[in-house]
Each structure stands twice: as C-alpha cells, then as structure tokens.
Chains A and B, each alone.
Chain A
C-alpha cells in the first residue's frame, strides 16, 4: 500500500519583504515613485492651464522644503529604477551574438547605463540653456 501523502508547505506571506526578494520588491516599488513624479508634472500642467495665479502657486510649491526633499527622494528612487531597469534589459531580449559569441549581459547593462546617463546630461544642459 502506498504511503504517499505529499505535503505542500505554504509560502511565507512576507516572502517579498525578505532577502533575496527585497531588492526585487524595492525595484517594483520605485515604479510608484516614477508615477508620483509624473503626477507632480501633471499637476504643474493643470496649474498652467488654470492661469498665472495657479502656476505661481505651483512654482511656490516646487520651491518649498517639502518639495525639495520629495524631489531628492524621487531622484534617488529614479536612479535605482534606471539602474535595475538596465540590469533587467539583457534578460528581456533575444541572445545578442557578436562575432559568433554571446554578447556579455554585464557589458550590455554598462553601455545602456552610460547612454542613459549621457542622455540625461544632455537633457539637463538643454534645460539649463533654455531656462537662462
């Protein structure tokens, strides 16, 4: 007679909060930061449409210490988001074969991060130049 009685262990309900999954959860949460930043910009657009008074209020909000701290936090989250995004990039595409050999994933991530950083710098310079 078979003694089989397979036992299924329940998953920990907090698996996402502990290593090795914590970095993944953090990465996914930075998506919320991206959404919040989008909302801040959208809020500015709405204020612009409402008229000069509302837009001045928006600018005053941007200059407030709360807004500056918020933007620093959002920037940190965005940087983490970008880096982890490019770390995931090689996983999401077909194997790249260069000179008959698979192109190293790490190199792909490095190039993407450098291009991303370069584009951001150019954007920043354009923004500074336009805002002069």
Chain B
C-alpha cells in the first residue's frame, strides 16, 4: 500500500496543560504533529492549535524573536518558541512547559502583571539632566556614550531571564534581571539624570541584593543583553550609596 511510503515523519510534544476552570493542577498532555526540517516549536504549537486541539493556549506575535511573547520552557530551558527549531533539539519527545517561577494562568500562558509593575517602578524613561526646549536643539551623544548602555536597550521583555533565576523563584518580589537591565539602560545613558531616583528603588533584598550572581539569566537571554551585568554593577552602586549617603545633601534621613 502507498500509505507506508507516504508516511510523514512526526514529532511528539509533551505540553504542560492547565485549564483553571476544570483542572485542579497542571498535567502533561501529548500531541503528535507532522515534522518538517524548518519547523520552529511555535509552528508546532500552532499546528496543534489549528488541527488537533483548539483550546491549547499560548502567547505569540512576531515569529522572529522581537516581540518577546512566546517564551516558554523547552526541554527544561527557557527559550523563545519562535527562535527554537525542532531540528536543533535532541531526538525524542519535546517537553514544553510555561516559564518557570511565574504563576500559570492557562496552559503556556503565565501572569506578567508583577513584571510590568517592576518595570514601571524603575522610572523607565529618560529624566533629562538639564531640561532643554526644542529650540535649544537635540541632546547629543557620542558613539562611545551610546555603547555604554546600548546592549541593555535591546531587551524585549520576554522574561526568560526571570525563568532562569532561582533567586526570583525563591523571592517573587526580587526586582530581577529584566527590570534591572532596563534600569541600567537609563542609568547608563549620558543624557539621563535620574540615577539617584532609580537607585532608591533597588536597595535591599527585593532590590539587587537577592542576586547571588548565578549568571544563568545572561546565558538564556535571546538578545545578549547581559542582565546579570546590569544587576551586579548596581550592587556596587547600591553599596556605595549606602555608605556615602551621609555625605550627600539631604541623603541621610
């Protein structure tokens, strides 16, 4: 029979499912989809949603590692589903779970509210050193001044670094790598004058001091932002601020 000859290669995906209305706790469900050489994990999930189970929930948008929506645990490692090709994974079933360390809303969708609040808390905008009117012209910057913060501005808020961070897992109030990368993006900007304001938000255990320099956050970052660097250089800043605050006008309270 020709059926055997045309048999398509398939790949098995073991997906952690959670439907809050009916499931007490998450449990794995297994799906088999036709495999192609150029297939990403995201495409495999879309195939499942289109052809096998329309209730499967996951976030995605751009399909090209820019939007940061499709972060998930793929074979136990935080990765972007769009950026992970099935052919680069070891043979056998692919395990897919929602991002570690975040509450699961449904299937592969996690709560992002706390993360957004953290981002808002660090004044994520330029606070000009000296305000200028439009007539006074633009704020100029040399390439070297740009290089001092540029990599931190590449963050796409995909939260893989939070899923990689065991200290965030232990203490969900820890500000974490992603928000610190954004903080450093502004603190390292030559046009910015809001360093002290931001520094005041990152002291203590919920600030930078939960970090123990595990470094895995920077390893999993799909944009080479190096959030571990953002956190750890600010430990120095936080420590200096603690000891030198008495010398600052109005610093000691």
Is B235 close to A, CB under 8 A? yes
B228 to chain A, nearest CB (A): 5
**Complex CA–CA separation, A93 to B213 (angstroms):** 12
Q: Which residues of chain A come closer than 8 Å to B151, judged between CB atoms?
A: 95, 102
Q: Within the complex, which residue of A15, A92, A102 is in contact with B169, where a contact is CB–CB below 8 Å?
A: A15
Q: How far is the CB of B79 from chain A (nearest CB, A)?
A: 13
Contact with A along B190-203 (1 / 0, CB 8 A): 00000000000000
- Minimal beta-carbon separation of A42 from chain B (angstroms): 27
* Bound complex: CA A91 to CA B101 (Å): 23
Say yes or no: B20 contacts A5, CB within 8 Å: yes
Pairwise interchain contact A100-B147, C-beta atoms closer than 8 A:
yes
**Given A92-B232, A95-B148, A101-B147, are A4 and B105 also a contact pair (CB < 8 Å)?**
yes
Residues of A contacting B21 with CB < 8 Å? Answer: 3, 5
A101 to B252, CA, bound (A): 38
Instruction: Count A interface residues, CB 8 Å.
Output: 26
B154 CB within 8 Å of chain A? no
In the bound complex, residues from chain B placing their C-beta under 8 Å from that of A94 are 148, 188, 233
| B interface size (C-beta, 8 A) | 38
Known: A91-B215, A91-B229, A94-B233. Is A6-B142 also a contact (CB below 8 A)?
A: no
Cβ-defined contact, A97 with B144, below 8 A: yes
Tell whether A9 is near chain B: CB-to-CB under 8 Å. yes
Q: Does A16 contact B (CB under 8 A)?
A: yes
B170→A91 contact, CB < 8 A? no
- CB under 8 Å from chain B, chain A span 1-46: 3-9, 11, 15-16, 20-21, 24, 28
The B211-253 residues at the A interface (CB cut-off 8 A) are 212-216, 218-219, 226, 228-229, 232-233, 235-236
- CB of A24 within 8 A of CB of B147, answer no
Complex CA gap A6/B170 in Å reads 17
Determine whether the beta carbon of A7 is less than 8 Å from that of B18.
Answer: yes
Q: Is the CB of B233 within 8 A of A20?
A: no
Interface centre among A11, A90, A91, A105 (most CB of B within 10 A): A91
- A15, B166: Cα distance in complex, Å: 8
Interface presence of A88 (CB below 8 A): yes
Minimum Cβ distance to chain A for residue B20 (Å)? 4
Q: Cβ of A8 and Cβ of B103 under 8 Å apart?
A: yes
B148 and A91 within 8 A (CB)? no
